[in-house]
Amino acid sequence: MGAHDVLVAGPTSAQRARTVLAAADSLTVVTGSHDCDLVGGGLHGVADDGRVLLRVPAACRLAAEVALAPRGSLSALLKFTDIAPVAVRDRVRARVTLAGWLTATGRTFDDGAHAELRLDAAHVDLDTGNGPAPLGLDAFALARPDALAAYEAGMLTHLVDGHGGLVASLARLADPRLTRNAERVTPLSLDRGGLTLRIEHAAARHDVRLPFAAPAHGPEEVGERVQALLAEARGCRRRASGRP
């Protein structure tokens, strides 16, 4: 692809992990005696210091386990899975696992029907397909989720459903050796710094990141960034055909 004066770097591992948590609408809690799934928006959040907060039914088994644990602190794992919002092979893009201790904060919701639990993490892992890699707790606490985390799924779905020709044009920015005889090219992920395409062949796949020339600070700026990539793609086509 052509060179920009400035290219926006991709997210750090800590930013990637915080983005996975921000966008997730479900997670799995694993304790010494059972697993439970929390499904639905608003059931978890991340405090400014990086500690994860869970909203659970006050009468559920997990809340009871925490209450009965020695000193009210229960060893637990929180598992988050980042799944591509569009149809591609191998849709799991990342997994984040936090290990630590759950305690009750004493805060309740809905007239006491729900209680808040807090995980004080001792270990955080991010797995993007090459095995889990530990993250520094300070880096995780200080990182912030991507500005497009809440909008990415809708934007990618719109791009796939309504702008297939645009995706084909963007694929010209990838190495031609990767796109030759490809079965399908699909936008896999979108963040403030760029768009990633998945190029699928019968027996292989390649993920190609197309960085923006400047970060998108919100969804309203994404269209302009994508148009800049399309302009670059048209330049690639002219060079390939020998036209000035």
Provide the whole-model pTM: 0.89
pLDDT for res 48: 86
Based on its alpha-carbon atoms, the radius of gyration of the chain, rounded to whole angstroms, reads 21
Is pLDDT above 90 for 8?
A: no
pLDDT band at 41 (very low <50, low <70, confident <90, very high): confident
List, as one string, the DSSP characters of 43-81.
SEEE-TTS-EEEEEETTSHHHHHHHHSGGG-EEEEEEEE
Count each helix (H run) and each strand (E run) in the chain, helices first: 7, 11
Residue 107's Cβ-side half-sphere holds a number of Cα atoms within 13 Å equal to: 9
Residue 3, amino acid: A
Q: What are φ and ψ of residue 157, in 5° steps? A: -60, -45
Structural tokens at position 131: 């095995």
Would you give the distance in Å from CA 173 to the centre of its chain? Answer: 23
How much is the pLDDT for 237?
A: 58
pLDDT of residue 10: 83
At 51, give phi and psi (nearest 5°). -80, 140
Q: Could you tell me if 93 and 86 are in contact, meaning their C-beta atoms sit under 8 angstroms apart?
A: no
Q: How many CB atoms lie within 10 A of CB 168?
A: 12
**Per-residue pLDDT at 7:** 62
Domains and CATH numbers, the chain: 13-142 (2.30.110.10), 152-241 (3.20.180.10)
Q: Residue range 165-181: average pLDDT?
A: 93
In sequence order, the 6+-apart residues with CB closer than 8 A to the CB of 55 are 42, 43, 44, 109, 114, 115, 116
Which two tokens mark 44? 């978890």
Asked whether the predicted pLDDT for residue 12 surpasses 70, the reply is yes
Is the pLDDT at 151 greater than 80, yes or no? yes
Q: Is residue 241 scored above 50 in pLDDT?
A: no
Q: Mention every residue, 6+ apart, whose C-beta is less than 8 A from residue 91.
A: 83, 84
In this predicted model, what pLDDT tens digit does every residue of 190-213 receive, in sequence order? 999 999 999 999 999 999 999 999
Band of residue 5 on the pLDDT scale cut at 50, 70, 90? very low
Q: Please tell me the predicted confidence (pLDDT) of residue 244.
A: 44
Backbone CA torsion sign across 98, 89, 84, 41 = negative
Structure tokens at 91: 């849709």
